[in-house]
Amino acid sequence: MKSRLMRLQGCRHRVLWGLLALALAYPVSAETLNFDQCVDVALRQNPGLFASRAQMEQAEAGLQQARGGRLPKVTVSLNGVRSNDALNAFGLKLSQRNATFGDFGAGEFNPANPGVLAVAPENLNHPAAVNNFNTRIEAQLPLYTGGMIEGYIEQAQSFIRAAQRGDQAARQQVIFHVLQAYEGVHAARAYVGVAKQGEVAAESYVKTISSLLGQGVVVKSDRLSAQIHLEDVRVQLELARNAEASALDQLHMLLGLPLSQPLDVGARVSLSPLPGKPSALREQALADNPGLNALRHQLEAAEAGVKVAKAGLYPQVGLMARQDWNDRNVGLDASSYTLGGTLSWNAFDGGAARGAVDRAAAGKSELAARLRQAESGVEFQVDEAGRKAIEAERRVAVRALVVTHAEEALNLVEKRYKNGVTTITELLAARAQLDKARADGVAANYDLAIQRAALRLAVGKLEPDMKFPSPLPSPAAGEGDRVSLREFR
């Protein structure tokens, strides 16, 4: 029996190890999304956009609430009361149409008594408790509110437009951040490629120098310098891999995906330069930037808020219609109606209404100042992004030439070192210069994409349906993307 249990346990272990081997042999493949797919997922699932959509829903609900102020307000109520208060008890009986002469103390009236008029009727002064159930339907209709309802409607409409522009701005911000993370993955992988090539070269140096050391051609310090250089390159490789992982994690969060879900990116994207002179682009940004337009609509809402506050300085006119039923029990007996109109004017409130107007006007002035400041900021962003895009474009071309020259220089230094003409210090410096040139080329390509996107973001043209040119190839180690210089005009 014991041996049988051992065999069963051994079989179970073999099955578990087999399943583990299958899992390792067939790992879960990462889903590859190109940039358009990433943008589509982000615009559907990004947590930050949910708040933007909720703001639009709030604004739309506010408009519905404001429009409801124009319609009659109808309330239905049921109130129950029991009282033996003399006035209330008699009034409740009258409301129920149940009052009798006996309630006035008619049974205690004796004409033969000279002081009969001084007799206090017991039923009138000390009535029994009366139950009453009042069923009421009341309608109130405002006729004139001093512009308050109209102001609330205008304010709500402006808030809707502001929320729509704010949502557009939020969507463009998400696209920009997705582009940053997406291209960040490619840039980090290019850094990894540069570091790997540097590692291969550094390992080769260590091997070659060790061989030369054995031949007595070089000294031990040369091998030590080569080994230190190799470890430094490996540190740079680890940093590049960490940067790649960080960029992928950022992309996960922007897409609203769990970090544990495997994800990979497709081909790189290319943004063409935005045509137009700086002055024309500034004008376009002032007209089309969704963030500015959201502020403008908020300013419109503030103007409507001043109108609402001024309504407190004017009279209010309304109508009222009411239908009542009063009964000892819940029912619809003793029907009665009431019609009326109201005119009210706050003749003196200690300056509260005027203070509300001044406060609303000050809020409007604050928004106007913020709008002017934001307009200046957008103009600066347009100029700054345009200048940096030109700078990055030129750096891409220059870095490609620098890489070529650094490769040629390293080749010469390697030959000189093997011939014993130069030192290990010069060799490692030439190698480091090449690695730096390649890394700078990667950074220039990344900056070019980001600055062009920043310019489109400032102008308000970073849309999800924007057509991108054919994808750029991922920059291989030792290669820089050559692009033609374009003027920012």
Give the C-alpha separation, 442 to 448, whole Å: 10
Q: Which residues pair with 323 in a beta bridge?
A: 137, 337
Q: What is the pLDDT of residue 279?
A: 92
> Which CATH number applies to 30-66+150-303+372-459: 2.10.10.90, 1.10.260.40, 1.10.10.10, 1.20.1600.10?
1.20.1600.10
Q: What is the pLDDT of residue 464?
A: 67
Q: What is the pLDDT of residue 438?
A: 86
What are the tens digits of pLDDT across the range 132-174? 999 999 999 999 999 999 999 999 999 999 999 999 999 999 9
Give the C-alpha separation, 128 to 139, whole Å: 34
Sequential DSSP letters for 384-451: HHHHHHHHHHHHHHHHHHHHHHHHHHHHHHHHHHHTTSS-HHHHHHHHHHHHHHHHHHHHHHHHHHHH
Q: What is the pLDDT of residue 23?
A: 38
* Domains of the chain by residue range: 30-66+150-303+372-459
Q: What is the pLDDT of residue 270?
A: 78
Give the C-alpha separation, 43 to 58, whole Å: 20
Joined tokens for residue 337: 């109606």
Q: Which residues pair with 135 in a beta bridge?
A: 78, 325
Sequential DSSP letters for 288-337: H-HHHHHHHHHHHHHHHHHHHHHGGGS-EEEEEEEEEEEESSSS--SEEE
Give the C-alpha separation, 287 to 378, whole Å: 11
Taking 70 as the pLDDT cut, the residues of the chain under it are 1-30, 116, 464-489
Q: What is the pLDDT of residue 16?
A: 41
What are the tens digits of pLDDT across the range 217-230? 778 888 888 889 88
Among 48, 38, 258, 62, CA closest to 160: 62
Q: What is the pLDDT of residue 465?
A: 61
- Tally of CB atoms within 10 A around 179: 24
Give the C-alpha separation, 248 to 146, whole Å: 58
Stated pTM of the model:
0.74
Q: Which residues pair with 80 in a beta bridge?
A: 133
Across 198-224, b (16+ Cβ under 10 Å) vs e yields bbebbeebbebbeebbeeeebeeebbe
